[in-house]
Amino acid sequence: MEEYKDKLYKILAQVEKPARYCGGEWNTPDMSKPRKADMCFCFPELYEIGMSNLGVQILYDVINSDKDFAAERCFAPAEDFARKLKEENLPLLSLETKKPLKDFTVLGFSIGFELLYTNVLYMLDLAEIPFYAADRGEEYPILLAGGPCAVNPEPFADFFDIIVCGEGEEADLNILRIIAESRAEGVSKSEILKRVKSVEGAYVPSLHKDGEKVTKAVLRDFENAPYPEKPLVPNIEAVHDRATLELYRGCASGCRFCQAGFWYRPIRERSAERCAELGKKMVESAGFGEMSLCSLSTGDYTELEKLEDILIPYCEQKRVNLALPSLRISSFKSDMAKHSRKSSLTFAPEAGTQRLRNVINKNVTDAELDNLAEAFEIGYDSIKLYFMLGLPTETDDDIAGIAEICKRLKGLYYLKRHKRGLNISVSCAVFIPKPCTPFQWEEQISMEEMLRKQNYLRGLLREIKGVSFSWHGAETSVLEAALARGDRRQSRVIERAYELGAKFDAWTEQFKWDAWTQAFADCGLTMGEYTRRREADEALPWDFIDNGVSKAYLLKERELGYMEATTKNCREGCNGCGALKLGRCTVC
């Protein structure tokens, strides 16, 4: 790829943050070994966002650890770099060997968020690869997609040859093996896809028949699953630039709005010994100065104390900052936070009143909020609170409850400390009904209602000193909801939006609402069709995916929600969601 390297270096001298595009990170695996097939991981966001993605790091490590295969990476370039590529007639290249994307055996897109769909097309455009699977002949790589958006892959199904529904550690490798063996036999792409269809979790849109089911891929032996012991060290500061330890997969809380909480079932924990060993290896191989514990609810991890007993002294000795994010209030223990730097605490009550928290099954009680007094006692002066607006059954009283929580916390703070005054930052997202949740049938509130609720809350919070308020854009929330529950017709919409200039939709300053509304209209659709309430007996675009949790269970959970009745944490006993059939839950 030397021919491209020289041209690339010329461009690098003329763009912002060139280290995004040059590769050569510490811990890059050996790229010179012979490869039976190779895959380029394509992440449809900027380098500093993509390099923070744990999923990509895990899968990259899995493939490069195999003797027959190699994985490389490519991130969506910023527009100045994209312009230079076009000027110099260069296609999009991989970071490691500067190989054009179109020369790989497989391109694997990781799609973690609905607002990244146009960036997939942006990358294909720069790579000089046709968007639609049907338009790509034998000469093109096989396009694979995976990641959290595979919960409902229909909006982007037409662009891909294969979509991995579920966890990729085993599926990706199996698929790559089938492709390599088939290519060696010289069989056609359609025959390859036929063979790939047998892999658990593999959805092949072009060969899918009505009524067929795709079973979500689940990694059964999570304890011994491969993990990047030698993570890549980003060239420029990434959003999450640290050693990240995944403690467990799944979540026992059962919050009814949470897609990840249902999608990643069954729950599988990793032992404290294994986690600690991985963490030490990561610090020693990469030199990270920070370590974070990652899972959907870290405070609920069974062996948390045991893990802390190993990691706290280790991190102190190595001068590594141990960060403990996204704790639930109910699992907050002040001795836990005592050992990390006292910057700010983050909690997500999600709703302002006990009533509404019961509806969504967010089991945080008002009494538990009082635990925060301990945090104030040991020196915290700043707290971040996350809420959602527009939850099912929400009234203005529930919104007023958010302001009440802030007042309550201020009261607690002054009982314990009188020094600086408490800083509270309230951040409100808009509820987005997502597939694979008990609320997947709910409607999303209208944009007018979003703005009204935001204004109402802003007014209430303005009265309280020391509280800052931030909120999500109403437009992006509507679009996200429309795409999350989208169907096959949306591939044309995404293509049209891209033609009209939409890309990097997750960046507020780049978001083009007009392009999207026009794109829907040009395809004879409206976003309202997708954000409306769905009937319980209506066929849903993602029904064909068997994710373990039965539809009957989701419906029952929704009913319980309407009744303001909570469901117990899975750790207190099995609730019978059905995910057990895909593998043993390690907590029950």
Partner 1 sequence: MLVLKYSKLADACFVSHIDLLRHVSRILRRADIPVKFSQGFNPHALVFFSPPLAVGVASEAEYLAVDTDIGGEELIERYNRAVPSTLSATEVFECEKNPNLQGKITAADFVFDTPFKNIDLSGFVIEYEKKGKAVREDVSDRIYRVADSGGRLSLRLAAGNTSLRPDRILPELNARLGVALALSDIRKTAQYVGFANDAAGGFEDADDYLKRV
The site for partner 1 (CB under 8 A) is made up of 9-10, 12-13, 17-19, 21-24, 26, 233, 235-237, 241, 283-289, 318-320
User: What is the DSSP code (8-state) at residue 77?
Assistant: P
Residues 6+ apart with CB under 8 A from 335: none
E-strand ranges in 221-339 read: 243-246, 248-249, 268-269, 290-294, 321-323
Give 15 or 267: the residue with its C-beta nearer to partner 1. 15
SS3 557: helix
Give 289 or 473: the residue with its C-beta nearer to partner 1. 289
Cα angle 156, 158, 159; round to 5: 70
User: Nearest approach, Cβ of 75 to partner 1 (angstroms)?
Assistant: 15
User: Nearest approach, Cβ of 410 to partner 1 (angstroms)?
Assistant: 28
The torsion angles phi and psi of 552, rounded to 5 degrees, stand at -60, -40
The bridge status of strand 162-164 relative to strand 321-323 is unpaired
User: Nearest approach, Cβ of 314 to partner 1 (angstroms)?
Assistant: 13
User: Nearest approach, Cβ of 12 to partner 1 (angstroms)?
Assistant: 6
Give 9 or 507: the residue with its C-beta nearer to partner 1. 9
Give 123 or 243: the residue with its C-beta nearer to partner 1. 243
- The structure tokens 């191989």 sit at 285
Give 224 or 317: the residue with its C-beta nearer to partner 1. 317
Joined together, the tokens standing for residue 210 give 């009505």
User: What is the DSSP code (8-state) at residue 385?
Assistant: E
Distance (Å, rounded) from C-alpha 426 to C-alpha 444?
22
Q: Where are the alpha helices (DSSP H) in 417-489?
A: 447-462, 474-484
User: Nearest approach, Cβ of 561 to partner 1 (angstroms)?
Assistant: 46
SS3 300: helix
> What's the helix, strand, coil split of the chain in %, to 5?
45, 15, 45
- Least Cα distance to 533 among 440, 431, 448 occurs for 440
Give 271 or 285: the residue with its C-beta nearer to partner 1. 285
User: Nearest approach, Cβ of 237 to partner 1 (angstroms)?
Assistant: 6
User: What is the DSSP code (8-state) at residue 578?
Assistant: S
Distance (Å, rounded) from C-alpha 351 to C-alpha 426?
12
Give 420 or 584: the residue with its C-beta nearer to partner 1. 420
The answer to whether 266 and 305 have CB atoms below 8 angstroms apart is no
Instruction: State in Å, rounded, how far the first CA of the chain is from the last one.
Output: 52
- H/E segment holding residue 198: none
Give 288 or 441: the residue with its C-beta nearer to partner 1. 288
User: Nearest approach, Cβ of 17 to partner 1 (angstroms)?
Assistant: 8
User: Nearest approach, Cβ of 51 to partner 1 (angstroms)?
Assistant: 12
Give 283 or 582: the residue with its C-beta nearer to partner 1. 283
Give 134 or 378: the residue with its C-beta nearer to partner 1. 378
The answer to whether 206 and 134 have CB atoms below 8 angstroms apart is yes
Give 12 or 373: the residue with its C-beta nearer to partner 1. 12
Give 17 or 568: the residue with its C-beta nearer to partner 1. 17
Q: Where are the alpha helices (DSSP H) in 428-537?
A: 447-462, 474-484, 490-499, 513-522, 528-531
User: What is the DSSP code (8-state) at residue 248?
Assistant: E
User: Nearest approach, Cβ of 18 to partner 1 (angstroms)?
Assistant: 4
Give 21 or 41: the residue with its C-beta nearer to partner 1. 21
User: Nearest approach, Cβ of 284 to partner 1 (angstroms)?
Assistant: 6
User: Nearest approach, Cβ of 281 to partner 1 (angstroms)?
Assistant: 11
Joined together, the tokens standing for residue 223 give 């304890």
The one-letter amino acid at 476: T
The answer to whether 61 and 225 have CB atoms below 8 angstroms apart is no
User: Nearest approach, Cβ of 419 to partner 1 (angstroms)?
Assistant: 17
Give 22 or 219: the residue with its C-beta nearer to partner 1. 22
User: Nearest approach, Cβ of 27 to partner 1 (angstroms)?
Assistant: 9
Joined together, the tokens standing for residue 515 give 């392009």
For residue 266, whether the previous peptide bond is cis, meaning omega lies within 30 degrees of 0, is yes
- Least Cα distance to 127 among 31, 2, 4, 29 occurs for 4
Distance (Å, rounded) from C-alpha 187 to C-alpha 167?
27
Task: Count how many residues are written for the chain.
Answer: 588
The bridge status of strand 321-323 relative to strand 290-294 is parallel
Q: How far is CA 401 from CA 31, 331, 343, 407, 460, in A?
A: 56, 22, 26, 10, 10
User: Nearest approach, Cβ of 236 to partner 1 (angstroms)?
Assistant: 5
Q: How many CA atoms lie within 13 A of 178 on its CB side?
A: 21
